[in-house]
Structure 1
Amino acid sequence: MAEIRVEKVTLDKLDVLQKLSIDTFRETFGYDNTEEELQQFFDDSYTLEQLEKDVTDAESDVRFVLVDGREVGFMKVNWGAAQTEHELENAFEIQRIYILSECQSLGLGKKLFELALDMAKKGGFDWAWLGVWEDNVKAQGFYRKYGFEKFSEHSFEVGDKVDTDWLMRKALKE
């Protein structure tokens, strides 16, 4: 049986995070974007400088999931000023969870998602929220199973292409 671990991304692993970010985004959204759009997105979001900011931000947490010692996915969560939107008070954003396609049947995305929800609850936040592409019906269904509901929308740019993301939230306190 494979050994599965989750660990914080450290500065000496930024190159691994960059490659994994690009590879998983391309696997997930490459079919719907041109190479130019993808490259522009990578140049904006996945430079080593931007990833260093993400990893060192006191209001973000970036973690790898490893299978038998190999980084195969990651998550990025934010709170406070690090969030990409500020529509909810005392909120915790699950910004990114990506797993290499070859490992997507191992339950790793679910593991990271549940870890993120646990972090939000232990952190005393009122809301957990995330953005999901309006056409990603499978992911929307997954989030609904955890009690998330659509509450808003925002634009998500990949190069010059603008998509619509649903913003979904879950109350963490009764």
Structure 2
Amino acid sequence: MLVRRAVPSDAAVLAVLGASTFTDAFGHLYSAEDLQAFLDESHAVSAYEGLLSSPAYALWLAEVDGQAVGYALAGPCGLPHADVRPEHGELKRLYVSQAAQGGGVGAHLFDEALAWLEREGPRPLWISVWSENYGAQRFYGRYGFEKAGEYEFIVGQQRDREFIYRRLPGR
């Protein structure tokens, strides 16, 4: 397995991987129309090109035998919580293809993202996780993240209950 920082030429690969992993994990929750509209906006090549061109964000790709199997996205925190400050960081996405789950890919991507988020020293870090994704909640808990709030994650007409997790410096 190779985990590397994504570069602008990876935008198309990230768009395909992002759409497929989101659909595999959550596609069953949404109508076909709502899901496609969300994918067209959040997982378009142009969306990844914008993220890859911004110094405020960083993406990593995990590859096995030259195939992209997972990715992570980190940047400034945009979660709706009263304690969020501009200098706080957020793991915005962490997805691994179903075939590559359970082999340490997610942990390696997560470690890279955390190191980047704290490259200038410890600071509060945030994560959003679906309320029914118990495995992810346990995973983040092992890294010292604790539930700090809730909000609605909107995909078309669907409103999902999302938990906001936070890790304070020193945890």
TM-aligned CA deviation for residue 145 of structure 1? 1.6
- Normalised to the residue count of structure 1, the TM-score between the two structures is 0.89
Listed one character per residue, the Cα deviations across residues 28-55 of structure 1 (whole Å, up to 9, x for unaligned) are 1122222212101112211222111111
Cα distance in 1 for residues equivalent to 2:154 and 2:20: 18
Match of 1:84 in 2: 78
Q: Is the 8 A contact 1:92 1:125 kept in 2?
A: no
Larger deviation, residues 32-41 vs 92-101 = 32-41
Letter of the structure 2 residue corresponding to residue 52 of structure 1 = E
Unaligned 5+ runs, structure 2: none
Match of 2:140 in 1: 143
- Normalised to the residue count of structure 2, the TM-score between the two structures is 0.90
Letter of the structure 2 residue corresponding to residue 38 of structure 1 = L
Letter of the structure 2 residue corresponding to residue 30 of structure 1 = G
Q: Is the 8 A contact 1:131 1:165 kept in 2?
A: yes
Letter of the structure 1 residue corresponding to residue 27 of structure 2 = G
TM-aligned CA deviation for residue 96 of structure 1? 0.3
Question: In structure 2, the residue corresponding to 1:52 is in which secondary structure?
Answer: helix
**In angstroms, what is the RMSD of aligned CA positions?**
1.6
Does 2:64 match 1:67?
yes
Match of 1:13 in 2: 10
Cα distance in 1 for residues equivalent to 2:137 and 2:163: 9
Structure 1 residue corresponding to 2:111, chosen from 108, 111, 114: 114
Match of 1:38 in 2: 35
After the TM superposition, which parts of structure 1 deviate over 4 Å for at least 4 consecutive aligned residues? Answer: none
Question: In structure 1, the residue corresponding to 2:102 is in which secondary structure?
Answer: coil
Match of 1:128 in 2: 125
